[in-house]
Each structure stands twice: as structure tokens, then as C-alpha cells.
Amino acid sequence: MKQVWSSYSYTIIFAVGLFLLILLMTFTNLEKSDNQYMQVKVESGDTLWAMAEQYEDANMSTTEFVKWVREANELETTHIQEGQTIILPIERNTDILHLADSNKE
């Protein structure tokens, strides 16, 4: 064992250090992802399809938007309920200019 350590000590230290660095980066990214995206509270009459159209600036098609929301929120169907809080694929720091009621002229 002593001979293995003396022959490969730099390689072993490098491998362990690299593993720890990757582990640290993984946990750091997981913590960020929880609060990275916008959360909205579902109101009466809201649908995933309507939200996809409302937030079309998310650089996704409507179908991709709905699929992303379903996966991120672990929804079995596209049905959402009033009062439910869901995560949308829009970064929190993004300025969205059309958040006001778009039906008003």
C-alpha cells in the first residue's frame, strides 16, 4: 500500500480533489435551481396553454412550455387548480413587460 501511495500520490490527490470539486458544483447548482425560476399562483380560469401563450417570450414553443411545466412541477396532466403554485420556465431576474392584463387595450 505504501508503494502504491508513493507511486501515485499526485494522481490520487488530483482525483479526490476533482471529485470533491464536482460534488460541490453539483450541490451549488441544485440549490440555485430551486429559486431560479418564476413561481406563480394559479388563478381561476388559468390553464397551462394560456400561460404558455402569455409568457411566449420564454423562447419555447407552446408545447415545449407545457411539457417543461408539467415535468418541473411533477404534474400528471395539464390540469391545474386554483390556488396551486407552479414553477414556470422564466428566470426570476427576467423583466417581462406583458405581465399586466393583456386583454385590456
* 95 in Cβ contact with 55 (< 8 Å): no
C-alpha cell at 58: 420564454
What domains lie within the chain, and their CATH numbers?
Answer: 2-91 (3.10.350.10)
pTM strictly above 0.95: no
Q: What is the pLDDT of residues 39-89, one digit of tens each?
A: 899 999 999 999 988 887 657 889 999 999 999 899 999 999 999 999 988
Distance, in Å, from the CA atom of 7 to the CA atom of 35, rounded to the nearest integer, reads: 46
pLDDT at res. 37: 84
* 73 in Cβ contact with 86 (< 8 Å): yes
Average pLDDT, the chain: 81
* CA geometry: angle 77, 55, 34, nearest 5 deg: 65
Is residue 20 predicted with pLDDT exceeding 90?
Answer: yes
The backbone torsions φ and ψ at residue 42, rounded to the nearest 5 degrees and listed phi first, read -70, 130
